[in-house]
Amino acid sequence: MIIDGTNIKSTFGATILEGSYESLLQYPKLKEPQKNDWAEYDGLEVDLVSPVLDSKEIVLKIYCNGNVDGFLRFLMQKTYRTYEFDDLGLSFKLRFIGITNIRTHYITGGVIVCKEFELKLSDDSGNVPELNYNVQSSIHDLGFLLDGKNFKDYGIYPKIEKEQAETKPKLEIRSRFITGVRVAEQIGKKKEYTATLKLFIHSNTQSFLSGYYQFLNDLIKPNERILTIQGKEYKCYYQSSKINDFDLRDNDVWCAFDVNVNII
């Protein structure tokens, strides 16, 4: 990793550890849009004219067997720095928050050998990288589409989730002068609910990054999205995401992640 042009391994003896890229690459959440929940309206009326992403906290696991104090002083000298990740081919402007979970390793005689800690950063930009690499995909068509574009065109393999739906509460009349409760006769209206898409990508690094970020860019376009699952359509909008497993070895990426969408 290179920070503002400084190679942290050769300068401070610091390296980034496995398990750091999950929070780095995880999609930011969507800032909560304005909503109106009308009793007579299926789902929600949501203002999606200009959806925007929130800031995102990042935690990098660092191993340092060199100048730990110098590395920390370097980090604290500026609020924002440019962090370059060579094996991903990406750079981000990130804000330094602090360090946590410091573990010190000693040898006989009490001499400090190295330290491990978590470097907490924030991506305040709310921006999505725009990459134009070719997406390589050998995935079969499983009938998952976003606004008519097949998930396989992003290099994304979807898993089928059970469908769920609830109705909004109907008008009830409760009184100490009548027995039981009276419920108005009316057609049930669907409630908004959150659906989790279980997704998986296996490809080379460039293809993964391009398809992965194209998917997010398409998710956060203005107005609601049409999610099609094996012929059935749902109106929805993006809410949040989580990378559950990420492995990068020799330009080969395995990534399992969840995307939460609100069905409206």
What residue type is 96 in one-letter code? Answer: F
Kindly write down the DSSP assignment for every residue of 70-139, as one continuous string: HHHHHHHT-SEEEEEETTTTEEEEEEEEEEEEEEEEEETTTEEEEEEEEEEEEE-S-------PPPP---
What DSSP state is assigned to residue 30?
B
What is the per-residue pLDDT for 114? 78
Give me the tens of pLDDT residue by residue for the chain, a chain 264 residues long.
999 999 999 999 999 998 899 999 999 999 999 887 665 555 568 889 999 999 999 999 999 988 888 998 999 999 999 999 999 999 999 999 999 998 887 776 666 677 899 999 999 999 998 887 888 778 888 899 999 999 999 999 997 554 455 555 555 566 666 666 666 665 545 567 889 999 999 999 999 999 999 999 999 999 999 999 989 999 999 999 999 999 999 999 999 999 999 998
Q: What is the rounded distance in angstroms from the CA atom of residue 245 to the CA atom of residue 14?
A: 24
What is the β-pairing status of strands 232-249 and 252-263?
antiparallel
The whole-model pTM stands at: 0.83
> Minimal CA–CA distance to 239: which of 24, 91, 35, 22?
35
**For the chain, what are the domain ranges?**
2-263
CATH number of this structure's domain 2-263, picked from the four choices 3.40.50.720, 2.40.30.200, 1.20.1440.130, 1.20.210.10: 2.40.30.200
Angle at the Cα of 163 (from 160 to 166), degrees rounded to 5?
160
Q: Which of 35, 44, 262, 34 is nearest to 168 (CA)?
A: 44
For the chain, the residue count is: 264
For residue 116, the model assigns a pLDDT of 92
pLDDT in the model for residue 102: 85
